[in-house]
Structure 1
């Protein structure tokens, strides 16, 4: 993407660490507080294209449940324990096996998005890893220089043809989701071999993938903690990612109006 909120907040964190004189510290803190309040008021106007958050009150309550309780006391410690204590070869085998299950859905969605090259790559990876990689436990395809392209979900395919994200929801434990993504996940679950999974097997797949993803986010926790409004930061970053995926991985041309305000915020913090 041309410019992102994440990049801007990275710059904010860097600039906020600049040296300040004792006489200016209180004034700068007051200015930053006022700026944060103005920022929150502005970004709630849905400056990121495709954002629709009609249940924001409920979503914020669920966000607080996730962020203040479920994540620090359940998801984070469990994920780190999994990464720290499960042998790496075992984790790699599980990750490869679960990733291989998604390849047919990736192939079909690549076809829908008119990307024949990626569709062929996903197909080749699936049959090679399934036949020669012990049902996908070993990533033979990557070893054969058949690198996995980006994931393609049916929600991305819908977005590719102009279907909007729809309402945004914050779900306990699960996290953010839009109506388009939820519907897309349901359709993807109808493809072989995902359609062979029972409810509990699907839940296990989600849990193992979720633990890997959560552990990988530890290094980025400071960004969320220091953002003007963690809820809005998460929502906007999520929607921007979905917009990006819906383009087939091409850069999004538009620049959110909030970026102009973030430039002003950077200037004020730097002064």
Structure 2
């Protein structure tokens, strides 16, 4: 099973609600921010129409979207995710998030090398061995305390995109959310790296569930953008593809966009002179 299922935009269905009922968090306790992947990078500026979307199964995908958006998310994923975030003690949540993030460091290291970013690759390597050895198998983020902050995670799907491989067909899968062919192939390749390759099906499912709860809860603040969209399906699809394209560039703005931004800044300066 893929170990990066939670990199999708909206829907993460979880099967692990047992932690929620027994946890107790003081009402006035300030909640600690737990690192997430997708949600932290989503903003209104990213939600623009993209031209390289290949959606040959749009009719089927829209039916799956309605199933996810109208039923699975509001009645399952969203309430359980919010319950997990609200009632699980922050140290427990943070330890779980750190542990699973640490499992992804070797894959991110390899893909950073592939994407010609040796500095990030070295950081991923150092974070993995330091947190594994001194951080109780990654439960504690000792590396960040040692001034080695986490670089952006990298998947093999990003590496393929970096070298010009297109996203391929777009799919909306029930209980799963959006995915492209490139991402699916990339996730399968990343699952071959240690220690991800050692996870059983149920362990991979648990990783997906816990990471999915964090990502889904973090997306609550973005729900108004979706609700205000005239076509939420296209809105989500284009945002998802644009997010994947952004990751494939290594997080860099294309040259033509940078030039346009510079010209726009010059235009604003001219206006200010009047």
Q: TM-score, normalised by structure 2?
A: 0.76
The residue that corresponds to 1:140 in the other structure is 142
> What's the CA shift string for 1:139-170, capped at 9, x where partnerless?
00011110000010000000000000000000
**Count of aligned pairs:** 216
Structure 1: runs of 5 or more not aligned: 10-42, 256-271
Indicate yes or no: 2:234 matched with 1:232. Answer: yes
Aligned-residue RMSD, C-alpha: 1.6
Query: Does the C-alpha gap of structure 1 residues 145 and 8 become closer, same or farther in structure 2, counting only changes over 3 Å?
Result: closer
**C-alpha displacement at 1:5, in angstroms?**
8.7
Aligned match for 1:53, one of 52, 55, 63: 55
**C-alpha displacement at 1:174, in angstroms?**
1.1
Matches within 5 A, 1:90-109: 90-109=92-111
Residues of 2 paired with 1:5 and 1:53: CA distance?
23
Q: Secondary structure at the match of 1:217?
A: helix
Residues of 2 paired with 1:51 and 1:113: CA distance?
23
Larger deviation: 60-69 or 49-58? 49-58
Residues of 2 paired with 1:100 and 1:77: CA distance?
27
Q: Secondary structure at the match of 1:50?
A: coil
Indicate yes or no: 2:235 matched with 1:197. Answer: no
The residue that corresponds to 1:173 in the other structure is 175
The residue that corresponds to 1:150 in the other structure is 152
Residues of 1 paired with 2:256 and 2:101: CA distance?
32
The residue that corresponds to 2:45 in the other structure is 7
The residue that corresponds to 2:8 in the other structure is none
Is this contact kept in 2: 1:6–1:237, CA < 8 A? no
The residue that corresponds to 1:74 in the other structure is 76
**C-alpha displacement at 1:253, in angstroms?**
4.7
The residue that corresponds to 2:189 in the other structure is 187
Residues of 2 paired with 1:5 and 1:106: CA distance?
24
The residue that corresponds to 1:18 in the other structure is none
**C-alpha displacement at 1:49, in angstroms?**
3.7
> What's the CA shift string for 1:207-238, capped at 9, x where partnerless?
00000000001111111001111000000000
Is this contact kept in 2: 1:50–1:243, CA < 8 A? no
Structure number with higher helix proportion: 1
Is this contact kept in 1: 2:109–2:122, CA < 8 A? yes
Q: TM-score, normalised by structure 1?
A: 0.77
The residue that corresponds to 2:118 in the other structure is 116
Is this contact kept in 1: 2:167–2:181, CA < 8 A? yes
Is this contact kept in 1: 2:46–2:243, CA < 8 A? no
Is this contact kept in 2: 1:244–1:252, CA < 8 A? no
The residue that corresponds to 1:161 in the other structure is 163
> What's the CA shift string for 1:32-87, capped at 9, x where partnerless?
xxxxxxxxxxx9xxx51431000000000000000000000000000001001111
Q: Secondary structure at the match of 1:249?
A: coil
